[in-house]
Structures are given as C-alpha cells and as structure tokens.
Amino acid sequence: TDLFGFELLDGHLYLHIDLGSGYLKKRVSKYRIDNSTWHDIALSRIDRRGKITVDEELSEFETIGDATQLDLDGLLYIGGIGVPFASLNIPPVFWSTASQRGFVGCMRDLVINGQSIDVAGYAQQQDSGKWNGTK
C-alpha cells in the first residue's frame, strides 16, 4: 500500500512515505513548529528523491526501494483519517498516538500540483471534502 503523510509529533514535522517498496519516516523540521505562528511548508519530489522546506529550511529525502510513483487507490485525505476510514489498510507503522487523533491546528493556502484547494470551504462542511486530483 502506497502512502504519504505529514505528522506533527513533539512539535516537529515528520514525513511518512512509502511508494510501495519501503516505508520512510523522517523528521523534516529542524525546530519545533507548534508555536502558534504560521509556517510555510513545501514538498517536491521527482522519482525517489524529494525536498521539503519548512520556513526556507531545506530537508532532502530519498524513498526506500525501487518504486518511483505514489499510487493512491482512492482519495487523498487531508486532516487525518478517523474511524469511518479505518478500513483503508493503513500500515501500523504509520499510526502513532498523535496520528490517531487527526489534525488539530490551522491550515491555509493549500496548493497541490499547482491547484489551490479551498481548505476553508471543506472545513465548513466538516469532513465532506473530496479531491481526486483533477480539476
């Protein structure tokens, strides 16, 4: 099962990624970002190599194994995966105590593949937002 996620754990941002040939968890913030201020986070990836910037601090990563594409079987979930989605076959290694609580915090100006996502609109609908990667 391919997966991609960010997690805030002990104030630091962690990347979780598995393109189907090996799981990687990496701390990508050099300092705590749970300080009640806005932070800029950007991710780019080509094949197995990627870059994440957190407030202009660069962290590079390379995925495990030979796979180069993130193949999602369904929708991309933003903000956590709760009980209604427990059947999604998420590997146990991904589920820390913090991940099980879902997203708690603020998010704005979300852009995926160059497309702006109406985060505020989805938040008003409470868990009804679905984005399948097309316009």
135 contacts: CB under 8 Å, gap ≥ 6: 115
Residue 124 confidence (pLDDT) above 60: yes
62 found inside a domain? yes
**Domain presence at residue 114:** no
Does residue 80 sit within a domain? yes
**Host domain of residue 65:** 3-103
Q: pLDDT digits over 24-81, tens only?
A: 999 999 999 999 999 999 999 999 999 999 999 999 999 999 999 988 777 777 766 6
Residue 116 lies in a domain: no
* Residue 17 belongs to domain with CATH number: 2.60.120.200
Beta strands in the chain (DSSP E): 3-9, 12-18, 23-27, 41-46, 49-54, 57-62, 110-112, 115-117
- Confidence at residue 65, expressed as pLDDT on a 0 to 100 scale: 94
